[in-house]
Amino acid sequence: MLDIVLIVISALCLIAGLAGCILPFLPGPPIAYLGLVFLHLTDKVQYSTTQFIVWLLIVAVLQVLDYFIPMLGSKYSGGSKWGNWGCIIGTLVGLLFLPWGIIVGPFLGAVIGELLGNKEFSQALKSGFGSLLGFILGTLLKFVICGYFCYQFIVGLVR
């Protein structure tokens, strides 16, 4: 009976993890990782310590990168330090206006930062789109990791 409860909790964590890839108030990959931990506590599935450590490192790196990828997108699309700071500030302000603020915040922050740094509007927009592309890339990476965790869940239960 306990195994069934843990499997259901695990499945709910994986679903919440997938939702957290697009809902910024839910940390998707950590919740999905927790789902695998719950599954491991059953008698049905046993993961190795190495798997848990590698997965945890991937989740930790991804969580850190999730905040920096939009800034890197801005930088590599020709943005200056003004655009990077604007992207950071826009991301923080965007957190106050969920869910769209997390998408629009870095974009507008990068654009406004570049304009304050005396860049032309076209260059400021390019930097803003770079931050938006970075956000989309970060979201895609989270989906890949959470999808992999869902795959591990299914394979673990089928064996």
Query: 22-36 pLDDT, tens per residue?
Result: 777 789 999 999 999
Looking up tokens 């089928």, which residue turns up?
158
Q: How many domains does the chain have?
A: 1
Residue 40: exposed, middle, or buried by beta-carbon count in 10 A (0-12, 13-18, 19+)?
middle
Residues 6+ away with beta carbon under 8 Å from 98: 24, 25
Query: 81-94 pLDDT, tens per residue?
Result: 888 888 878 878 88
Question: pTM for the whole thing?
Answer: 0.79
* 96 DSSP assignment: G
Give the per-residue pLDDT at 141.
94
**Can you give the residue range of the structural domain that contains 41?**
2-158
* pLDDT tens, per residue, the chain with 159 residues: 899 999 999 999 999 999 988 777 789 999 999 999 999 999 999 999 999 999 999 999 998 888 788 777 877 787 788 888 888 788 788 878 877 887 888 889 889 998 998 888 988 888 888 888 888 888 899 999 999 999 999 999 998
Residues 6+ away with beta carbon under 8 Å from 86: 74, 109, 110, 111, 112, 113, 114, 116
Looking up tokens 């939702």, which residue turns up?
19
Asked if residue 26 lies in contact with residue 20, where contact means CB atoms within 8 angstroms, the answer is yes
